[in-house]
Amino acid sequence: MRHLRHLALGAPRAEGRRSLAVQAKRDWGAAYVLLAPAAGLLGLWFIYPIVDTVVLSFQRVNLFQFSQRTYVGFSNFHQLLDDPAFHHSLFITLVFVVVVVPAQTAAALALAAVLQGVQVGRTFFRTTFFLPYMTSTVAVTTVFMKLFVIGGPLAAVASAVFGVANATWYAQPNLALAFLVIVYVYMYIGLYVVVFLGGIENVPVELHEAAKVDGAGVVQRFRFVTVPSVRPYIFFVVVAGFIQAVQVFDQAYVIASNGAILGSPAGATATLVIFLYQQAFRLNNLGYGSAAAVVLLLIVFAGTVLTRRLLPER
């Protein structure tokens, strides 16, 4: 529409110099020229790799002779179905997601609601909560490894308060996944606080005032005014948080990077992405790793479809 209008407006002055058709063609040309760098780069470095991931998942390829690709049909996927290590990685990822998503959603929503209720220092607290998300995953994980080492400050506190063994969390098979959850949630809460703040700001003050007049306390107003009003945001944070959490990699890699085998200790942090990375870059099975990558793609795709369904306007 816009373009047509511009052509109509442009017609009188352009007369004698070039026809409408020429003007329009010139613009097509401009479109293709200006788009070319992005199209070329996206095509080569984004779209081709997506296609190639799928192609690789039907092939057997060794990391050190990667030009020799042999088609093996569905055998990588059959192998995945029978591979206890793959099942284990799905299980670890599931546990991780099931703990992380509700924890970060609830904490972020509560903090956002409290933050919205104060007048002074809102920007300060928002900035402070957001800080961990800006920091590198490697930096945060390295620090937490010192905090949760045997005798370290937080390992000691956890032991005193919750009765957990005073141990090096990331080296204990029964504590390493909890450690991963803590590091991850620590980084992401601030992000979702900000998302929720965007939603809570839109809740009419009158609703809260009316509830107050009716004698509703803080908790009741949170439960019956805030939560229902930001329900779309909650869905959104849950699904987006899910999509993010199934991709967890950096933190688990850093925990294990002193050893050749990722997912340590004893596979306690062997998430789906760790599994595919291990297969491709430690065990040199590019095809098999790609089959696991296709599973990840499908999971993320399902999550995306769900987001679009829930939030049609975005």
Partner 1 sequence: MTRSGPLAGTTFPRLASSVAKYSLLSLGALIATGPLLFALYTSFELPADYPRLVALSRLTLWNYRYVFDNAPVLRWYANTAFVTFGVVVGAVVVNTLAGYVLARIRYPGRTVTFLVVLAVLMVPLQAILIPLYLLVAQFGWLNSYQALIVPFIANPFLIFLMRQAFQAVPVDLEEAALIDGAGRFRSFLKIAVPLTMSGVATQAVLAGTWTWNSFMIPVTFTTDPNQYMMTVGLNSLQSQFYTLTTVQMAGVVLLSVPVVIMFVVFQRLIVPSFATAGIRG
Secondary structure in 3-state letters for 34-66: HHHHHHHHHHHHHHHHHHHHHHHCCEECEHHHC
Q: What is the DSSP string of 109-131?
A: HHHHHHHHT-SSSHHHHHHHHHH
Does 260 engage in binding with partner 1 (CB under 8 A)?
no
d(CA 110, CA 230): 12
Q: Which is nearer to partner 1, 177 or 186 (CB)?
A: 186
Q: Which of residues 169-208 bind partner 1 (CB under 8 A)?
A: 186, 189-192, 194-195, 198, 205
| 265 lines the binding site for partner 1 (CB under 8 A) | no
Cβ 98 to partner 1 shortest distance, Å: 19
Largest CA distance in the chain: 87
* Residues within window 77-136 making contact with partner 1, judged by CB under 8 A: 111, 114-115, 117-121, 123-136
Tell whether residue 301 is a contact of partner 1 (CB under 8 A): yes
Please give the single-letter amino acid code of residue 99: V
| Contact flag: residue 32 with partner 1 (CB under 8 A) | yes
What is the distance between the alpha carbons of residues 241 and 110, in angstroms, rounded to a whole number? 16
By CB under 8 A, tell whether 162 contacts partner 1: no
Among residues 15, 20, 22, 26, which is the contact residue for partner 1, using CB under 8 A?
A: 26
* Contacts with partner 1, 61-80, as mask; x by CB under 8 A: -----x--------------
How many residues of this chain interact with partner 1, rule: CB under 8 A?
Answer: 106
Least Å distance between CB 294 and partner 1?
8
Q: How far is the CB of 74 from partner 1 (least distance, A)?
A: 18
What 8-state DSSP symbol labels residue 285?
B
**How far is residue 266's CA from residue 255's CA, in Å, rounded to a whole number?**
12
Whole-number minimum distance, CB 175 to partner 1, in Å?
A: 18
- What are the structure tokens assigned to 230, written together? 């930001």
Stretch of 33-41, 84-92, 161-169, 170-178 contacting partner 1, by CB under 8 A: 33-41
Query: What's the Cα-to-Cα distance from 190 to each of 104, 127, 187, rounded to whole Å?
Result: 9, 8, 7
